[in-house]
Amino acid sequence: MMDAVGSIGYLIVLVLLIPFGAHRLRLVWLRFRRPPRREFPRWVGELPVVTVQLPVYNEANVVERLIDAVCALDHPRDRLEVQVLDDSDDETVELARARVAEWRSRGIDITHVRRGDRTGFKAGALAHGTALSRGEFLLVLDADFVAPPDLVARLLAPFLDEEVGAVQAAWAHLDGESTWLRRAQSLFLDAHFAIEHEARYRAGLFFNFNGSAGMWRRSCIDAVGGWRSDTLTEDIDLSYRAQLEGWRFAYLDDLRVPGELPASMRAVEIQQERWTQGGIQSARLLLPSVWRSRLGLEIKLEATAHLLGHVVHPLTLLLGSALAVAGWAGLTGVGLPGWIHGVALGMATLPFVLFYGSAAALRGVRAWAIPLRVLQSMILWLGLGVPLTGAVLRGALGRPAVFARTPKDGFARQVLYGTRRWMPSDWVRASVALALGGAVVNLAVAGVAASVPFTALFALGYVASTAESLRGPRTISAVPREQLAGE
């Protein structure tokens, strides 16, 4: 009985995973087969007023670095406005206020904008700042980014096409090589920008503003109803609404804005859970409009694949659980012929290996280092399966959520933000890690060679991510202080 259930469940999950792998392969194909698109190389005529918006919440470790970089932007001072949209309730407030005063004394038009509460979280802060701004174009930078001096000039040029509503730069990494965790994250992001964004851009498909390191035409934001806080990914929501109204987006892969990557497993989870739950929330809100529109079928299908991409996390968790159960039961080949395991391993891993390997090559990773870099990324991806499955379910069920900021250390950490105990997902992941580790040993002892590699890959992902949680500062928290008091 257990043999049959394991075999059937294993096959069902594999079949459900095939479209996700196929989608990754299609993005790689589009990236390399479609010719690059060209935008205007430089702004022509009188330079417009640009407002730089810096939404911050409890960012004592990085707020000064952020402000200093923005105030050094190469744009005429009479046409540059900087807004520090500060919803903080800690030391960040005084640090930001002092930095703003310093730069105002040097002739920079910079304001420290405070609200009475955090209504709407980041979306609310951006909407509030937009209502107070004077810029024709709005550049948004999160607290963990360091703007290069020519950022405004390069982002402005594509707006000479009046149909362009937003221009997104690629993200680079201030600290992408320091640990395996950061190397894995950097490849995640490199694949997103170098493959996904560039492929969609070249093919004329929808893609999104990424919440930071991008510029908006103000009239575009106003025309589609402004920022909304209905989801945790206000950037995806506004991007899709704008493109549904006919605005075109431009992407500049050769313009890379460095940002700080999360330093601990807990910080990675906070960031990824927000993006995952928000992505599913956005799918619920936006896909009906996408399919009711007169857009071409290719655009509709890609938008659907994009917005529902996080569904892969519960599927991989189910697959890992099935492998653990089968391994402990000692089922020979999970009740299946050995060749099926070879095919399964190929279908479940090869598309992602090609996807991340291509991104690594495009970003200049040395050929000999690519296999290890891809393995590290897949380990992290598998290890995030438990918390991100919870995020998918919360998004699908329409559960309300608090916008939890990602903890950042900066180059010289001044503040350790809060603490919280292990969450239920941590215990689940640790249990799955133990089950998979034991399954590998059991299969090896039983001589079931066909099942060992696939099971071992999942085991490595769960064991490594659990170990990283235990090793790192897992108590760093990004939830509001009033919530910490109740934990």
Would you call 364 exposed, middle or buried from its count of C-beta atoms within 10 A (0-12, 13-18, 19+)? exposed
Q: Is 253 helix (H, G, I), strand (E, B) or coil?
A: strand
Among the options 144, 235, 237, 426, which is catalytic?
Answer: 235
Q: What Cα–Cα distance (Å) separates residue 474 from each residue in 90, 180, 408, 478?
A: 21, 16, 13, 11
Region for residue 348 given its phi and psi (left: phi exceeds 0; alpha: psi -120 to 50; beta: otherwise): alpha
Annotation marks residue 90 as catalytic: no
Strand order across the beta sheet in which 164-173 lies = 109-114, 80-86, 50-56, 137-140, 214-217, 164-173, 248-259
CA angle 310, 374, 408 (to 5 degrees): 65
Name the token pair of 334: 């999970």
Strand blocks (E) in 27-100: 50-56, 80-86
Q: Tell me whether residue 175 is one of the annotated catalytic residues.
A: no
Q: Is 104 exposed, middle or buried (0-12, 13-18, 19+ CB in 10 A)?
A: middle
* CA 251/CA 210 separation, integer angstroms: 11
d(C-alpha 385, C-alpha 320), whole Å? 9
**Active-site entry in 87, 142, 190, 237:** 87
The residues annotated with a catalytic role in the active site are 87, 235
